[in-house]
Amino acid sequence: MESAGVKTADDTTADKEGAGPDVGARQSPRRSRLEPRSLVRPAVIAALVVFALLEIPSLFSLYYVDAWTQVAIYSIVTLGLGVLVGRVGLVSLGQGAVLALGAWVAARLLFATGLSYPIVLLGAGLITMVLGTLVGLPALRLSGLYLALITLMLAGAITVVLTTINFPNGGRGFTGYDGSTVHIPPIRRPSIATTDPAFFRYSMIVAILMFVLVFFHIRGRPGRAWAAIRQSESAALAAGINTTFYKLWAFALASFVTGVAGGLVAGSFRYLNSLTFTTQDSITLLAVVLMGGAYSLTGAVVAAFLLKFLQALLNDWGVSPDWLTILFGIGVLQVLTTAPRGIVEQFPKDMARLGRLIAGLFRRRAPAAEPAE
Amino acid sequence: MIEVSGLTVRFGGVTPLDGMDVKFEAGTCGLIGPNGAGKTTFFNVLSGFVRPATGTIEAFGENLLKMAHFRRARWGVRRTFQTEQAIEELSIYDNVAMVHEQSKGSSGSRREDTLASIEFVGIKSDPYAHVNTLGVGERRLVEVARAVVGQPKLVLLDEPAAGLPEEETEHLSNVIRKIPEHTGALTILVDHDMSLVSGCCETTAVLDFGKLISSGPTEQVLRDERVIRAYLGTEENV
Amino acid sequence: MPTWTDVEQFLVTGLSLGGVYALSGVGMVVLYRATGVLNLAFGAIGAFGAFIAWQLINHSSVSFWPAFVVAVLVGGLLTLAYGMVFGPALALRDPLVKATATLGLALILLGVMDLLWPSSGGASRALTVPTDNNTFQVGQISVTYTNVLALVLGLVVTVVAAAFLRFTKLGTAMRAMANDREITASLGVPVRRVTAAAWFGCGCLAGVAGVLLSDLVALDATALTFLVISTLAATLVGRLRSIPITFAAAIVIGVITAELTPISSLSTYRDMTPFVVAAIALLFLSRRRVISVGRQGV
């Protein structure tokens, strides 16, 4: 969205140290990347983030502030799924269930302990990471289609378990569920963010931290290994990459951030039950990630916006959410057949094409003034 | 030096390698043979993608077959693929540096080593340019740069010149010829372009139906009657 | 603990469920082998057909069997239409992409079904196969002809599909196409006709499965759509290739799921059966590893 018109493809090359003396001649084109032009994108994003953080609570009604909270939280989920789908080429059809798992763990910790909220989020992330990775382990050595299928089944299985043991409602025991309770206490929120606007800001800051975490992964060694695995498993192995290990790493990272997001879901909904999460969620998540563009971090935000803001908007207008489901279905088919890189990259491309068309018109009139490309 | 003995690979009813015995000493060696002779299968065995039914491979005093596939690259087995496999999402620099960071080389020299390899193969584009902006010729060179960075012991080139115009083939041939002295690695070149093989390799081995049928100095091998017969017999495939 | 009669009674349920899973699984395997598409919209298509049948029976006073035929044809034509539009567009892509695309169809159908036949508002619908009313006794347990129909259909579809792939020209062509479409095309196999037949056949089976499961389980769009998971588990055990193994796995999954019903401590977990079966199968599968060359993912 906010990246419209700015190229997203050259993320990975920007930050490199100064060059050695023997390649002096080659430095200049790279140096130019650090010139103001390449700072435009981060600056615009930073400005938008700060603006959203400060102004959304005052610009929107409480209903829409809550919608934006959901966008912030679910952007973490789509971010995690985007890493799997876009960076490594692993399709998971079980992220909705992983999110539910994170929410369960967080709710349980919040009822059982007096731990501060950030610690609970971290705990939910780590426990979800371990559980999510363990179950996906056997499928990681198999081809992508098998992984997708096993994660779909995993989603079904987790849903069954969570439906059976129920979400914690302040009861005792391992499950923390007491079916006879009449007065159900709400799930605790962070003490600094008990109101909706404050919780929005809190969620957004957590989301920013998760984006930063993923950003450094992508820029670093795992990001390079993932790019190789995505392109070709054999090429990755030939480059010395332990493909199983790095796939596992991606899985763990995605499960971790999704678990953290689950912790935020618990605090944002305050009352959880098995109807909060459905198996269909996992598929809808994949749909919006593909539509938003799994290849860029901005795509994750777009995906969350499609998922949660549109939903709130349609609900406000009294339109059935089924239309959204239909739209997502059409979106998946459209993206897979014509624009595999999603809206985020398709839109600038269309704009660039338009630009070239206009430039072409001018060029024909004044052929002498042809710019060097 | 690598010594292969009794190497047999079976896929169901097919036997792409059938008791292959061969020795590659040093420098750049050619490996030729008609289509389906087992050349790529041999490379896949060396890279660890295919597990042989029987046979041994001793490379520089180590039992290669005992090593896990990704460890072989770290140890020093490098290769290029018939269909070029430069990583599109990454820059030229990252493509090459990635191999370096996975191998044993120290991270202190990573930058120099990487840029030196890019320089060595003669890529003229900005090293920080994305691979998906490059032409076929330079993508091939990126793959070769990945194969020579760090301290390779064994460089396997699988039809590196396939689909390249003459000019670029010539450049590539110059690069390949210099690999052994630049890196000290034993280089094995598989190609159907006989002028490339005879231009680069002092010695050549010939495979047919998964067996070694001839080996020795390239000139001599190419005049060998058995080799000529093997090629003529399947001429339509060459 | 359940009594012996319980065990027998639930065996009947399990076998008929397994029969439906088997015919679904065989439909999916045949389509996968002919086109490389794993149809994850199978359940949604079946559910759609079942809803059409329900509509005809309850609002147009059509009797059951004609409505059943319509449901089957709707499934077949819908799947065929999808295959004709998106099959060629995705023909050269990874199987994972092809499978993901069918999820798009599943979402569209889910949305449409919920719009036309909303599940909220307490409207519960039921689709009853008339053979439910004809029962016979085997010892102490009663068996409906729907139970028999489900198991027999599963068996017949399995046998026919296996024989078809092995002995007929069209079947051999399908098997060949799984290996290499372009080579097969150049050998003079009518690729378009073969794929069309596979799409239509798979869709018809989806329609049959949809109606039978509406009777055996419930007429509910989401539930029917995700019953595809049980079927998927069976096809996974058969490595997406083997028809006999898919059949056996489907029966096993159906029977285990049903037999867990009377055991109170495990009853609520019985829907995990397909996952557990598939996970065990995958542990075995993952011992053999294939390294793929070429781009991964979508």
Name the average pLDDT for chain C: 85
CA B222 vs. chain centroid, Å, equals 20
pLDDT tens sequence across A299-311 = 899 999 999 999 9
- Indicate whether C33 pLDDT > 70: yes
Q: Judge: B81–A241 Cβ closer than 8 Å, yes or no.
A: no
The pLDDT assigned to C186 comes to 62
- Subunits next to C (3 or more Cβ pairs <8 Å) are A, B
pLDDT tens sequence across B121-164 = 888 888 898 888 888 888 889 999 999 888 888 999 998 888 88
In chain A, the residue whose alpha carbon lies closest to the alpha carbon of C82 is: A333
pLDDT band at C15 (very low <50, low <70, confident <90, very high): very high
The pLDDT assigned to A346 comes to 65
Name the average pLDDT for chain A: 81
pLDDT tens sequence across B79-93 = 998 888 888 888 999
Distance, in Å, from the CA atom of A189 to the CA atom of B129, rounded to the nearest integer, reads 47
In chain B, the residue whose alpha carbon lies closest to the alpha carbon of A223 is: B90
- Indicate whether C295 pLDDT > 60: no
> Considering only CB atoms, which chain C residues are within 8 Å of B49?
291
The minimal CB distance from B89 to the residues A227, A234, A238 is found for A227
The answer to whether B81 faces chain C, any CB pair under 8 Å, is yes
Q: Judge: B112–A20 Cβ closer than 8 Å, yes or no.
A: yes
pLDDT band at C297 (very low <50, low <70, confident <90, very high): very low
Nearest partner of A45 among A86, A78, A1, A87, judged by Cα: A1
The minimal CB distance from B128 to the residues A30, A238, A240 is found for A30
Mutation to test the B interface, candidates A13, A32, A230, most B Cβ within 10 Å? A13
Distance, in Å, from the CA atom of A145 to the CA atom of A91, rounded to the nearest integer, reads 8
The pLDDT assigned to A342 comes to 61
* Residue A27: C-alpha distances to residues A39, B81, C293 (Å): 18, 30, 35
- Indicate whether A39 pLDDT > 60: yes
In chain B, the residue whose alpha carbon lies closest to the alpha carbon of A31 is: B128
pLDDT tens sequence across C177-190 = 665 666 666 666 67
When mean pLDDT is compared across A96-100, A314-318, B229-233, C257-261, the lowest value belongs to: B229-233
Could you list the beta-strand ranges (E) of chain C.
135-138, 141-144
Phi, psi of B6 (to 5 degrees): 60, 35
> Considering only CB atoms, which chain B residues are within 8 Å of A231?
85, 87-89
Task: Tell me the mean pLDDT in the region A67-77.
Answer: 95
The pLDDT assigned to A340 comes to 64
Classify residue A357 by its DSSP letter: H
Task: Tell me the mean pLDDT in the region C49-60.
Answer: 92
pLDDT tens sequence across C111-129 = 999 999 887 666 678 888 8
The pLDDT assigned to A105 comes to 93
Mutation to test the C interface, candidates A93, A243, A326, A327, most C Cβ within 10 Å? A326
pLDDT band at A69 (very low <50, low <70, confident <90, very high): very high
The distance of A74 to chain B (nearest Cα, Å) reads 26
φ/ψ bin of A354: left (φ > 0), alpha (ψ from -120 to 50), beta (otherwise): alpha
The pLDDT assigned to C87 comes to 86
The distance of B28 to chain A (nearest Cα, Å) reads 20
Q: Judge: B87–A228 Cβ closer than 8 Å, yes or no.
A: yes
- Indicate whether A15 pLDDT > 60: no
The pLDDT assigned to A361 comes to 66
Q: Judge: B81–C293 Cβ closer than 8 Å, yes or no.
A: yes
The pLDDT assigned to B23 comes to 87
pLDDT tens sequence across B14-38 = 888 888 888 888 888 989 888 888 8
Distance, in Å, from the CA atom of A51 to the CA atom of B169, rounded to the nearest integer, reads 55
At C234 the three-state DSSP class reads helix
The pLDDT assigned to A199 comes to 93
- Indicate whether C293 pLDDT > 50: no
Q: Judge: C293–A278 Cβ closer than 8 Å, yes or no.
A: no
- Indicate whether A286 pLDDT > 80: yes
* C84 CB-near residues (< 8 Å, 6+ apart): C196, C199
Distance, in Å, from the CA atom of A93 to the CA atom of A81, rounded to the nearest integer, reads 9
| Chains B–C, number of C-beta pairs less than 8 Å apart | 6
Strand order, beta sheet including B186-190: B77-79, B154-158, B186-190, B28-32, B203-208, B211-217
The answer to whether A329 faces chain C, any CB pair under 8 Å, is yes
* A57 CB-near residues (< 8 Å, 6+ apart): A65, A197, A200, A201
- Indicate whether C296 pLDDT > 90: no
The pLDDT assigned to A313 comes to 93
Task: Tell me the mean pLDDT in the region A87-110.
Answer: 91
The minimal CB distance from C291 to the residues B49, B81, B85 is found for B49
The distance of C272 to chain A (nearest Cα, Å) reads 5
Name the average pLDDT for chain B: 86
The answer to whether B49 faces chain C, any CB pair under 8 Å, is yes
The answer to whether A365 faces chain B, any CB pair under 8 Å, is no
Mutation to test the A interface, candidates B98, B120, B130, B154, most A Cβ within 10 Å? B98
Q: CB–CB of C165/C21 below 8 Å? A: no
pLDDT band at C269 (very low <50, low <70, confident <90, very high): confident
The distance of A177 to chain C (nearest Cα, Å) reads 16
The pLDDT assigned to C56 comes to 93
Nearest partner of C212 among C224, C203, C202, judged by Cα: C224
Task: Tell me the mean pLDDT in the region A220-244.
Answer: 89
In this prediction the ipTM stands at: 0.87
The distance of A229 to chain B (nearest Cα, Å) reads 9
Instruction: Supply the pTM of this predicted model.
Output: 0.85
Q: Encoding tokens for residue A165?
A: 């043991």
pLDDT tens sequence across A310-366 = 999 999 999 888 999 999 999 999 888 886 666 666 666 666 666 777 777 666 554
Q: Judge: C298–A85 Cβ closer than 8 Å, yes or no.
A: yes
Task: Tell me the mean pLDDT in the region A102-128.
Answer: 92
The distance of A367 to chain C (nearest Cα, Å) reads 40
- Indicate whether C83 pLDDT > 90: yes
* Residue for token pair 């198996």: A279
The pLDDT assigned to A33 comes to 45
- Indicate whether A34 pLDDT > 60: no
At B14 the three-state DSSP class reads strand
pLDDT tens sequence across B155-207 = 999 988 888 888 888 888 889 888 888 888 889 999 888 888 888 888 899 88
- Subunits next to B (3 or more Cβ pairs <8 Å) are A, C
The minimal CB distance from B69 to the residues A12, A224, A237 is found for A237
Nearest partner of A98 among A134, A71, A70, A142, judged by Cα: A134
| Chains A–B, number of C-beta pairs less than 8 Å apart | 99
